[in-house]
Amino acid sequence: MRTQELKEEIARLKAEKKAVILAHNYQLPLVQDVADFLGDSLELAKRVRKLRDRKIIVFCGVYFMAETARIINPDKKVIIPDREAGCALAEGLRPEELVRLKQQHPEAKVVCYVNSSAEIKALSDYCCTSANAVEVVEGLRGEEIIFVPDINLGRFVAWRLKRKIVLPASNCYVHHRFLLRDVQKARRLYPRAKIVVHPESPLEVIEASDYALSTSGMLKLAAESSEGEFVIGTEISMLYRLRKEFPRKKFYALKPGAICEGMKKITLAKLYEALTLLKEEVRLKPVLIERARRPLERMLES
- Residues 296 and 121: their CA atoms lie apart, in Å, by 8
Please check whether residue 249 lies inside any domain of the structure. Answer: yes
CA 28 to chain centre: 15
Please check whether residue 273 lies inside any domain of the structure. Answer: yes
Structural domain including 101 reads 89-171
Beta bridge pairs of residue 59 = 22
75 & 105 share domain:
no
32 & 83 share domain:
yes
66 & 113 share domain:
no
146 & 121 share domain:
yes
pLDDT of residue 261: 97
213 & 182 share domain:
yes
Q: Pick the last residue of a domain from 253, 274, 294.
A: 253
DSSP for 260-277, written as a single string: -TTGGG--HHHHHHHHHH
Least confident of 44-58, 66-80, 176-190, 199-213: 44-58
* Closest by CA position to 27, among listed 262, 274, 272: 262
182 & 161 share domain:
no
Number of domains in the chain: 3
**What number of H helices and E strands is found in the chain?**
16, 11
* Closest by CA position to 98, among listed 83, 111, 86, 88: 111
111 φ/ψ angles, rounded to the nearest 5 degrees? -110, 120
> Packing angle between helix 215-224 and helix 238-245, nearest 10 degrees?
20
Least confident of 15-24, 50-59, 163-172: 50-59
CA 7 to chain centre: 25
Q: Give the pTM.
A: 0.94
| Alpha helices (runs of H) in 73-179, residue ranges in sequence order | 88-91, 95-104, 118-122, 133-138, 151-161, 173-176
The arithmetic mean of pLDDT across residues 73-94, rounded, is: 94
44: exposed, middle or buried (Cβ count in 10 Å: 0-12, 13-18, 19+): buried
Least confident of 44-58, 84-98, 234-248, 265-279: 44-58
- Residues 94 and 98: their CA atoms lie apart, in Å, by 7
Confidence class for position 52, pLDDT limits 50, 70, 90: confident
Please check whether residue 293 lies inside any domain of the structure. Answer: no
Please check whether residue 277 lies inside any domain of the structure. Answer: yes
Confidence class for position 55, pLDDT limits 50, 70, 90: confident
Question: What's the helix, strand, coil split of the chain in %, to 5?
Answer: 45, 15, 35
pLDDT of residue 128: 93
Q: With residue 74 as reference, give the H or E element that holds it.
A: none
pLDDT of residue 48: 72
pLDDT 10s digits, 104-150 = 999 999 999 999 999 999 999 999 989 899 999 999 988 899 999 99
213 & 270 share domain:
no
The arithmetic mean of pLDDT across residues 166-187, rounded, is: 97
63 & 126 share domain:
no
Please name the residues in contact with 164: beta carbons below 8 A apart, sequence gap of 6 or more.
158
CATH number (domain holding residue 231):
3.40.50.10800
The arithmetic mean of pLDDT across residues 268-283, rounded, is: 95
Q: What is the mean pLDDT of the chain?
A: 94
26 & 10 share domain:
yes
Please check whether residue 134 lies inside any domain of the structure. Answer: yes
- At residue 199, does pLDDT exceed 80? yes
248 & 197 share domain:
yes
Please check whether residue 295 lies inside any domain of the structure. Answer: no
pLDDT of residue 302: 63
64 & 99 share domain:
no
Please check whether residue 28 lies inside any domain of the structure. Answer: yes
66 & 129 share domain:
no
Please check whether residue 290 lies inside any domain of the structure. Answer: no
